[in-house]
Amino acid sequence: MVEVLLVLASLYQASWAIRGSNSHCEPISTMEARPHSVTITEFGAVGDGVTLNSKAFHNAIFYLQSFADKGGAQLFVPAGRWLTGSFELISHLTLLLDKEAVILGSKDSSDWAIEDPLPSYGRGRELPGGRHQSLIYGNNLTDVIITGNNGTIDGQGSVWWNWFRNKSLNYTRPHLVELKNSTAVVISNLTFLNSPFWGIHPVYCSKVLIQNITILAPLDSPNTDGIDPGDLAFNMCNCPSFKFYFYFYDFCLDSEECNLTFPDSSTDVCIEDCYISTGDDLISIKSGWDEYGISYARPSSNIMIHRLSGETGSGAGISIGSEMSGGVSEVHAEGLRFFNSANGIRIKTAPGRGGYIRNVYISDMTVTNVKIVIRLQGQYGEHPDEFYDPNALPLVEKITIKDVTGENISRAGVLEGIQGDNFLNICLFNITLSVTKAPPWNCSYIQGYSNLVSPKICESLSERIYPKDYPDCYFPSNHLRSSVGQSKSAWLR
């Protein structure tokens, strides 16, 4: 069996090389069970919401490790409330939750181990030094699935939010899920509740698919970002050798390759059909912090977001930055629905970040009761320490946002670049917003183009008529249309 799998894997790797030019993210199919499966109760777990089951999770996964080279294994979590501290995943594993299963994070901070800071951050995000390990974590993994019939992973984060507000923490708060340096990862068909800090955080990863998930936390919970993809590299793909399908960009790869993060310095990530309601950004794309991110040099790129909806108390529907020092590029998002939120699309950076944000394409967005629909901030400060270089200026260019409608909007946009470091080729097309405050747009240190924008936009985004007048705007290749023989309205459809 192992020999057959290895032969199939080599064929899939060749297929990936042939089919890698397709830029579409396709749905994941229903997976079949792994050949080896155990239930958490076989290792003494008790689903009463009171008994601590950390040892049971550790023992179960340790046992399943012997099946990694035999087609992989599955850990099933049945109906019940399964209290646990942090536990580590392995390669070739499916963590499968029953519909009525709830994994509960312990409210005792000693059940969440301390680990080193990420090298692209140089310190904990909130406090110098280390950080608490995520509830579910893994490092250097390949072929991992976290899924269920809408089972639930609940971080019980309120105790952490209180510690944060009271300034009684010694280390940065933990996430619900963090996978590092991993590849071929699927997270699907689950509900994530009340994360202590960020919800799902793949770091330094590739081939990641996040699909059909719900992430919920109170709108006033601090920094409970839903999905933070960053420092990723590569894609999910079709791997029938393990009896399930990873589709991303419609090509296949060998499940043994990869690095993974989410999406913090991550590449080739697909996020689709998700509902998120949290206290901070629904999706936040990052790639390292100031001199540490510049030195580590792991960009986030090739990130696709389809059919995302939700609301946020103080953040944005989609945010890029502010930690973007390793670079962010090729971000494509469409089918967005945001409501009752502070911001729609937000790009954050500052002198000292270095890096770049470029080739971003946002389309088909509807916003309702949003304070600022498009927000570009070139002075979003906060640095890890005093050793950053204030002359390390970020490059922000080729940002295209089109086909946007909105009702009950406070301001259409606040577009603020950096003096001496203008944001370039900011292109806004076919945008109609019902704005309640004047002026609807505030612009400084930006250059670009616009067409069919209402209310009227700043003069620095000069209005042009035909597509040939926008040679510097970014459009993904599959969205490009020939300008020959087309009217302005046809091109903008």
**pTM for the full predicted model:** 0.85
- Residues of the chain with pLDDT > 70, as a percent, come to 81
- Tell me, what CATH number does 292's domain have? 2.160.20.10
Query: 264-279 burial, b if ≥16 CB within 10 A, otherwise e?
Result: bbbbbbbbbbbbbbbb
| Residue 17 confidence class, pLDDT cut points 50, 70, 90 | very low
**Vertex 353 angle, CA 350 and 356, to 5°:** 95
Q: Is the torsion defined by CA of 472, 474, 476, 479 positive or negative?
A: negative
Query: Which pair of tokens denotes residue 165?
Result: 């507000």
Q: Is the torsion defined by CA of 219, 220, 226, 228 positive or negative?
A: positive
- Please name the residue that has the structure tokens 């594993």: 93
Q: Is the pLDDT of residue 428 over 80?
A: yes
Query: What pLDDT shows up at residue 429?
Result: 95
Min mean pLDDT across 155-169, 260-274, 403-417 is at 260-274
Query: 35-69 burial, b if ≥16 CB within 10 A, otherwise e?
Result: ebebebbebebbbeeeebbbebbbbbbeebeebbe
Mean pLDDT within 75-91: 98
Encode pLDDT of 354-368 as tens digits: 999 999 999 999 999
Domains in the chain: how many in total? 1
Spatial distance between the Cα atoms of 455 and 49, rounded to a whole number of angstroms: 53
Spatial distance between the Cα atoms of 234 and 421, rounded to a whole number of angstroms: 31
| Highest-scoring range by mean pLDDT, 28-37, 243-252, 273-282 | 273-282
Mean pLDDT of the chain: 84
Spatial distance between the Cα atoms of 401 and 433, rounded to a whole number of angstroms: 13
Spatial distance between the Cα atoms of 111 and 108, rounded to a whole number of angstroms: 6
Query: What pLDDT shows up at residue 477?
Result: 75
Peptide bond into 319 cis (omega under 30): no
Min mean pLDDT across 67-71, 233-237, 350-354, 397-401 is at 233-237
* Distance (Å) of CA 33 to CA 13, 157, 183, 262: 23, 32, 20, 25
| DSSP characters over 365-404 | EEEEEEEEEEEEES-----SSTTS-TT-PPEEEEEEEEEE
Give bridge partners of residue 404 from the DSSP assignment: 365, 431
Q: Which of 280, 281, 290, 403 is catalytic?
A: 280
Q: What are phi and psi of 392, to 5 degrees?
A: -80, 95
Query: What pLDDT shows up at residue 247?
Result: 29
Spatial distance between the Cα atoms of 287 and 265, rounded to a whole number of angstroms: 4
Check if the beta carbon of residue 345 is closer than 8 Å to that of residue 365.
Answer: yes
Query: What pLDDT shows up at residue 220?
Result: 83
State the residue range of the domain holding 209. Answer: 2-492
Beta-sheet pairing, 131-132 with 114-115: antiparallel
Which is higher by pLDDT, 29 or 200?
200
Query: What pLDDT shows up at residue 468?
Result: 64
Query: Is 69 considered catalytic here?
Result: no
- Nearest C-alpha neighbor of 199 from the set 184, 216, 211: 216
Mean pLDDT within 367-388: 95
Which is higher by pLDDT, 481 or 177?
177
149 Cα distance to chain centroid: 22
Spatial distance between the Cα atoms of 332 and 343, rounded to a whole number of angstroms: 18
Check if the beta carbon of residue 326 is closer than 8 Å to that of residue 120.
Answer: yes
Mean pLDDT within 32-38: 86
Query: Which pair of tokens denotes residue 218?
Result: 């109170």
| Residue 222 confidence class, pLDDT cut points 50, 70, 90 | confident
| Residue 464 confidence class, pLDDT cut points 50, 70, 90 | confident
